[in-house]
Amino acid sequence: MSIPARIKDDLPFLTSLRRDLHAHPELGFEEERTAGIVARLLEEAGITVHPGLGGTGVVGTLQLGNGSRRIGLRADMDALAMPEMAERPYKSTAPGKMHACGHDGHTAMLLGAARHLAATRNFSGTVHFIFQPAEEGRGGARRMVEEGLFKLFPCDAVYGLHNMPGLAVDEIAVVEGPQLASSDSWRMTFRGTGTHGAKPHLGRDPITAAGTFLSSLQTIVGRVVDPLQPAVVSACFLRAGDPKALNVIPDIVEIGGTARAYSSDVRNQLETEIGRLAQGSAAMYDITVDYAFERRIPPVINDADATMRALAAAGSVFGGKVQTSFPPSTAGDDFAFFAQNAPGCYVWLGNGPAVDGALHHNTAYDFNDEALGYGAAYWVALVERELKV
């Protein structure tokens, strides 16, 4: 185990910073206070600051020596729209808002690493500290990319980190391949010809077509997708007719749902197959269907080379406590948009046991301050190894 002495000395500051962020949670694209603190601390450390990228996003850039390699480190800053139910001295002061995913810890750890690296100056190259807004479903990463993140701050590799309850604080999981699922939405409208419920032969019934579609939907995962490839399709929305008009066959039926996959091939397959079933069901009943598949978040898939580099850094801090086999999460993380622009690696940092069973997005969840030193040390090790003097 090696946490640099300077980071250990900084832990009281990082702990109070983390708790201050916890007490003042801000939702996606509203992280004004948080972004202000991030920008001020980066500036105080002598790091060049670019605020306001992607709304409330902040990028700090530290370039040293003549090394040409450039890497990006990501921390997310946003909280969730949910109340904090646990009592703690630094409990949320914002009603209905809470840091229940530990992004307060992510922000504090990356700031800790930035302060250390700016003081010790023990690397040669460029590191971009990327503080992104709105990770929790509001599209912060995509917006930063659209506003030119990688044109302004080109990266040869990008790295992400998320806290993980269940892993000890001196453990980290660094695994090549899929880490988080894609998260996409689909919707369709079956369009028939409404008619009297007693005279179906005079119309075209979209409800029966929709029923055929729904009863076949799970055959995509069961019969079409490779059984060794995880995939989920779920219909989550259904609307047709009126419960007050039980003798009316309606004109339209609307259906919507979600699709999850861990590879772009399966993701493409789900988009195609859901549409094919919809078209086929409509054709069976001689009606039409409008189908739309909305690509929200790609899967996070760790690049082999970036993972090797992350493993080496993790090994220097966590020794034998590096897990190289760890199950992927069915959740999504829009870090995936960064990893589409440069080889990426996303790691899971131990947050200790789940206190009272509270996991991510639970009203009692809390980032574990014991993890601050390990996370900051991992970032520092990654930079000093990636950008060797």
Which stretches of the chain bind Zn ion, using CB under 5 A?
Answer: 101
The residues, ordered by sequence, that sit 6+ positions from 106 with a Cβ below 8 Å of its Cβ are: 75, 76, 77, 161, 162, 163, 375
Alpha-carbon radius of gyration of the chain: 24
| Residue whose CB is less far from Zn ion, 101 or 306 | 101
- The alpha carbon of 8 is separated from its chain's Cα centroid by a whole number of angstroms, namely 29
Contact between 21 and 94 (Cβ < 8 Å): no
Nearest distance from residue 103's CB to Zn ion, in Å?
A: 6
Is 99 annotated as contributing to ligand binding?
A: no
Nearest distance from residue 333's CB to Zn ion, in Å?
A: 7
Q: Is 41 exposed, middle or buried (0-12, 13-18, 19+ CB in 10 A)?
A: buried
Angstrom distance (rounded) from CA 178 to CA 308: 15
- Number of residue whose CB is nearest Zn ion: 101
Nearest distance from residue 105's CB to Zn ion, in Å?
A: 10
Is 103 annotated as contributing to ligand binding?
A: yes
| Residue whose CB is less far from Zn ion, 285 or 379 | 379
| Residue whose CB is less far from Zn ion, 58 or 101 | 101
Q: Output the six-digit token pair for 121.
A: 């100056």
| Residue whose CB is less far from Zn ion, 291 or 365 | 365
Is 196 annotated as contributing to ligand binding?
A: no
Nearest distance from residue 142's CB to Zn ion, in Å?
A: 16
Instruction: Give the largest CA-CA distance in the chain.
Output: 82
Angstrom distance (rounded) from CA 333 to CA 193: 42
Nearest distance from residue 62's CB to Zn ion, in Å?
A: 25
Q: Output the six-digit token pair for 355.
A: 């206190």
Is 155 annotated as contributing to ligand binding?
A: no
| Residue whose CB is less far from Zn ion, 24 or 99 | 99
Is 101 annotated as contributing to ligand binding?
A: yes
**Where is the binding site for Mn(2+), in residues?**
101, 103, 136, 162, 361
